[in-house]
Structure 1
């Protein structure tokens, strides 16, 4: 299993890093769109779609992203989009987690399909737009999610006592969440220092939030984003539990599916764009 995980991670990095650091933003947008299309297929399968319908959902998602590319939305998306999406994630995520795995299947199937495709499409648009803003900005958002996850894992293992959501993800604890948030705040202050000390291509998410909201606003924004990365993770776990699935698919050997790797990114990128653009 470990060997599979390492090989898959190396292959993904070999594809993603050249696309991320390419002179133009479109290779990264296209590659991530292919991954999001695969996630759309996984979403259909997890929500009871027939095989052909699940494939059609993935294709539809990819075509919708291609249309956004053609319209130039990856460079200049509608500015009104991000704030409603942020509110929807905060309010809708809370409602979904409150309902738990038993509540999710009670929603009409067509609504679940549409909701998932919309969330995936908006998340991809935010990721593609972030790359257009700059590599430093994009990496600062990705690293926020990764640091929150890693710090939560080790903090939970060391100090975890109180379960966060035992019916959804028994391994998560409140202590892990707080450790993750502490890691995010440390990352933010270190990255802001790096922005000032180094000649980077663009300001990071943290510098943009500090410029727009002040240091206190940056701290609040980081806490919100760290918390929403947990919500994204729990939301996908909820959907998998409702479907009786351990992984979203086996597209990424040793890692599960694409949704298993991007779940925490889905709310974070749109909300990060909303906070940075304010």
Structure 2
């Protein structure tokens, strides 16, 4: 299992890193669109669309993504997509985690299918907009989620005692969440003090908001990275599956890798747009 995970990770890095570092914006956007469409397919499967439904949904997501480029790409656009995605995560995300409705039944399924189209398009636009600002910027944006996840894992392993959401994801703890937040805060503080690799998300937030509000925004992003992770965990638990798919051997599916990014990316770009 570990060998499979390592091999898959190496292959993914061999594809993603060169494209992120050196490919033109169009090439980067095409790769991210490819990833997003597969995530949409998994989203529909978790919502238990029957038969060819997930494939059709993925095609619709791809067409919607192409259509959304009419809204423009770039650092300041498309703000309406960022707003719509952020509204979903701010209101529907916590409500679902607290009330735990049956997401693949009743009105929830069509609502989440529609919301998914918006979220995946917003995620794509946010990454492209971040890449336009530069490689350090897009990597620092991704780093917020990666650090929160890694910090939570190791802190939770060492000190975790109080379960964060035992009925949704039993392995997550409050201590781990705080550890992930601390990891983000420490790296952000170092980046701001040393001006390393600027412009980054950290320097942009500082310039736009000032120190106090910049760190408050980073805290909010960490919180919603956890919300995104838990939301997908709940979808999987209700669907009765361990992973969103088997597309990535040893790692599960695409959604398993980007669940925390879905709320964070549009929200961060909305703040800065």
TM-score w.r.t. the length of structure 2 is 0.94
Greater Cα shift, 15-24 or 144-153: 15-24
Deviation, 1:26, is 1.2
| 2:60 paired residue number | 60
- Report Cα offsets for 1:206-245 as digits up to 9, x if no partner: 1111111111011101110011100000000011111111
Distance 1:83 1:58 in 2: 23
Distance 2:106 2:209 in 1: 38
| 2:50 paired residue number | 50
| 1:215 paired residue number | 211
Matching of residue 104 in structure 1 with residue 129 in structure 2: no
Distance 2:68 2:7 in 1: 33
Distance 2:15 2:71 in 1: 24
Q: How many residues align?
A: 271
8 Å Cα contact 2:147/2:180 also seen in 1: yes
8 Å Cα contact 2:41/2:55 also seen in 1: yes
Alignment partner of 2:170: what SS? strand
Alignment partner of 1:104: what SS? coil
| 1:175 paired residue number | 175
- Report Cα offsets for 1:176-211 as digits up to 9, x if no partner: 1111110110111122234x2x5x4x5111111111
8 Å Cα contact 1:39/1:259 also seen in 2: yes
- Report Cα offsets for 1:76-122 as digits up to 9, x if no partner: 6233443443233112111010122x442444222222122221221
Distance 1:88 1:209 in 2: 23
8 Å Cα contact 2:71/2:78 also seen in 1: no
Matching of residue 224 in structure 1 with residue 220 in structure 2: yes
Structure 1, unaligned stretches of length 5 or more? none
| 1:267 paired residue number | 263
Matching of residue 204 in structure 1 with residue 200 in structure 2: yes
Runs ≥4 residues deviating over 4 A: none
Greater Cα shift, 102-111 or 244-253: 102-111
Task: Describe how 1:94-243 pairs up with structure 2 within 5 A.
Answer: 94-100=94-100, 102-108=101-107, 109-194=109-194, 196=195, 198=196, 200=197, 203-243=199-239
Alignment partner of 1:51: what SS? coil
TM-score w.r.t. the length of structure 1 is 0.92
Distance 1:233 1:50 in 2: 25
| 1:73 paired residue number | 72
Deviation, 1:126, is 1.0
Distance 1:106 1:67 in 2: 29
